Structure 1
Amino acid sequence: MHRSSLSNTLSVSSVQTPNPNRSADGTLGIRPESLRVLPEVGAEGGQAVAPRGSVAGRVELVESLGAETLIYVEVAGAAATLVARQSERSALRPGDRVAVAIEEGVPLHLFDAGGRRVGGG
């Protein structure tokens, strides 16, 4: 199964807008190469324990494309499946519990509820 969409979005509420007296709902966009997928660290009450700064998820698909690997991860609360692009092969399999972390220092793209970019140029 091949999936062509490589956009990652997470719904966010109470986004701080450039006007400090106003907040709004919106979407956070993250590029696939900015995500790291880490094997599950442990379990607590049957739930995956994600390291601080990451979210727990479950692998849906691992797609090896030669020089890179796409890992599709279902995350509770995300509007869509997250896709991570890695330059190394992965031993992960569909159904594996994982943690998804955003690489430090990468740009994040924030959009308001109407799809307009918030801040930046």
Structure 2
Amino acid sequence: MAKARITKAASKVASKATGPKPKAAGVKKVAKVAKKVAAVKTAGKPAAAKKIATKVARGRKTVQTAAAAPAASASLTGKPGRPPTLPAIPVAKIKLELAASIKAAERSLAKLKKLAGQI
């Protein structure tokens, strides 16, 4: 369910960013980035993924997530004060990670095809 929501959110965002009828590849890319970030940084919360997808689609250079927020938040220390600052994750880094995982998937797919050819 969450997967569908993220993809839907990404397609909406992409359509806003690129005008009507976004290119499918663009939507998928945004969705993939969002999913990757969501999975790694926000334990797969669709809303967070959607926010990230939005930022990525609009060409943001960095994306902030609440995952690595310092433990000095007011709720933990019991002291009022400024909320923890969210770390900025470069979108380029996310895309690099994505590229690596896609390449790995392609490699394993090629191996499977090779095996299938032998049977």
Larger Rg: 2
- TM class by shorter chain equals under 0.3
Task: State TM-score, norm by structure 1.
Answer: 0.25
Structure with higher RCO (Cα < 8 A, 6+ apart): 1
TM-score for the superposition, normalised by structure 2: 0.25
Identify the structure with the greater strand proportion.
Answer: 1
Higher helix proportion: 2
